Amino acid sequence: MKVKTYRILTLIFITLAFSGCIGIEGEGAPHEPSRSTNYDTAEFSIVESPVKYVSFNGIEIGYKEFGTGEPILMIMPFATEMDMYNDTFVKQLAGSYRVILFDNRGMGYSSDNNESLSISLLANDTAGLMDALGMDSAHIFGSSMGSVIAQELALEHAGKVDRLILSSTTYSLDIPQTENLKRRLQYRASDPDTEPVLRKYAQANLKWNGTYERLPEIQNQVLILVANEDVLTPPGMSIKMTEQLPDAKIVRFESAGHLGEQYLPEEYANEILLFLE
């Protein structure tokens, strides 16, 4: 069942809140682009791909999958649906891996049971989806809110995570560096004109207690991707997370903003493929 979506609202919000442009560099010395990948150059469309459904925990989750091989499960950012993701980014990853996109509960093709939302609940939903698909573990990619859910998944369901890829990430909303992000979420949480499902998501983000003290518990190999012009989750936080994680690498992209994989899809995909090799 496809629940009512708010595509116009979310697209306007994403356009205003998240911007990016071209350019790439690594941490420290100039970064060399990864080699080209052998992915299918035929026409590719996330929107036109068939939706599949699984039910668990009193909800129905809509998902789509592309490619074959080891699975990469992708967790969506705030106010986004899987059909809004960048075709080039997903297609490039799907040339080497089985890429699974899904809508978080209450978004896009996924239903909601009116349970109070929390980041922990969304991490449990992700684990439940993996169980429903018969996946013991997977590489996990999360961007923005998706990266927060991914961190909680790695902490609460460690055995389900192979390698962890975090884009536009943070370890807390209660630090000066995330003031812009927190302010926007506070607005969404209280604005009567914001759709109820987005208010619930904003409130869930604001209740999140962060992961900084728990980051050393994440024993997975971690790749952190951050853009130098990201004003919502600035690079300084990603650097601090890299220092706190036992086995982490950071790649910084020049002249891009929040959700950089939407604007530099080939560059981001190449870095992920290189990391997973």
pLDDT in tens, 211-261: 999 999 999 999 999 999 999 999 999 999 999 999 999 999 998 899 999
- The pLDDT assigned to 29 comes to 28
Q: Which domains does the chain show, CATH number per domain?
A: 7-31+48-276 (3.40.50.1820)
pLDDT reported for residue 1 = 42
Whole-number pLDDT of residue 114: 86
At residue 42, the pLDDT reads 58
Radius of gyration of the chain (CA): 17
Nearest-angstrom CA–CA distance, 189 and 181: 12
Low pLDDT (below 50) residues in the chain: 1-41
pLDDT in tens, 20-46: 322 222 222 223 333 334 444 458 999
- DSSP output for 23-52: ----SSSPPPPPPP-----S---STTSPPE
Q: How open is the CA angle 10-12-13, to the nearest 5 degrees?
A: 60
Residue 22 three-state SS: coil
The whole-angstrom distance between residue 176's C-alpha and the CA centroid of its chain comes to: 22
Instruction: Enumerate the H helices of the chain as residue ranges.
Output: 7-17, 87-94, 119-132, 145-156, 179-190, 196-207, 235-244, 265-276
